[in-house]
């Protein structure tokens, strides 16, 4: 398997420049991971599939979904792509490489774990700042236009927010100067995480049912349902930052009440 990946990577190196692989390649990886993972949730909602796993009963209209997709394409081509092009020299300066040999899985997994932890910490404070009165009104309210989120709404945001919180995603790779294939994998996993968190569905196989400290869709959906002054649940991936700073009290209280109701219903039966 490793030799197949190295052969495929060698083909890319032989046919594309380092700049193309980093900027355009990174953009293609991003778009592929984002839309391939996000579009199924639109189909689930429109067709009424997996209804019993939907967190909110309310659904979005096809017009609202189309508006989201149209603006996303505009933001991605007018904001995300230029950022990838402009930041290429920075990543090269910080030590990012694309040459063979490829890094070992231990190096890749260690770096990505570090990226998740660092991103979550930076995202928490940035996201919490966006819920202050002025920033919410002028910037973050765009993201909260969808009180009932679906996968693609994860990146529906004001351009200033894309820049502001995008910093949380790139700071880890900028510090460590990873191999480009590590960056591809990090981008893909981060997208899958945020799309799942905004999916609007909580399945029996959702990661939050198996991974300790992982927030997931149920955790983040609560954040979208409330007014900005009372939302909480500001973390992107994990739950410990909200627990440490008490910004998940409303969510934990609601969970406790639901558990008590379930127990009461079980006893009554």
Mean pLDDT of the region 23-47? 95
| pTM, entire model | 0.93
Domain boundaries, the chain: 2-99+108-200
| pLDDT class of 267 with cuts at 50, 70, 90 | low
| Segment 128-180, tens digit of pLDDT | 999 999 999 999 999 999 999 999 999 999 999 998 888 899 999 999 999 99
pLDDT at residue 30 above 90?
yes
Q: Please give the pLDDT value at position 222.
A: 93
| Segment 112-124, tens digit of pLDDT | 999 999 999 999 9
Contact 150, 60 (CB under 8 A): yes
pLDDT at residue 221 above 90?
yes
| pLDDT class of 39 with cuts at 50, 70, 90 | very high
């Amino acid at each position: 398997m490793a030799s197949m990946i190295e052969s495929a990577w060698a083909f890319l190196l032989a046919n594309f420049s380092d700049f193309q692989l980093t900027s355009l390649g990174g953009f293609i990886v991003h778009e592929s991971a984002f839309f391939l993972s996000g579009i199924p949730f639109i189909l689930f909602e429109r067709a009424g599939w997996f209804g019993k796993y939907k967190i909110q009963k309310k659904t979005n209209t096809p017009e609202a979904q189309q508006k989201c997709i149209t603006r996303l394409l505009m933001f991605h081509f007018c904001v995300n792509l230029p950022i990838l092009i402009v930041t290429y020299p920075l990543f090269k300066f910080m030590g990012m490489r694309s040459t063979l040999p490829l890094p070992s899985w231990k190096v890749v997994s260690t770096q990505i774990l570090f990226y998740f932890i660092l991103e979550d910490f930076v995202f928490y404070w940035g996201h919490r700042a966006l819920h202050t009165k002025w920033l919410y009104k002028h910037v973050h309210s765009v993201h909260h236009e969808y009180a009932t989120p679906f996968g693609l709404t994860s990146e529906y945001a004001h351009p200033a927010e894309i820049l502001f919180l995008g910093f949380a995603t790139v700071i880890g790779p900028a510090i460590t100067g990873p191999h480009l294939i590590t960056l591809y994998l990090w981008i893909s996993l981060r997208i899958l995480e945020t799309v799942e968190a905004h999916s609007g569905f909580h399945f029996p196989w959702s990661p939050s049912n198996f991974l300790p400290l992982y927030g997931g869709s149920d955790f983040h959906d609560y954040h979208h349902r409330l007014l900005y002054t009372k939302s909480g649940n500001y973390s992107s991936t994990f739950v410990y930052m909200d627990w440490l700073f008490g910004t998940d009290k409303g969510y934990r209280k609601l969970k406790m009440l639901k558990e008590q109701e379930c127990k009461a219903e079980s006893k009554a039966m």
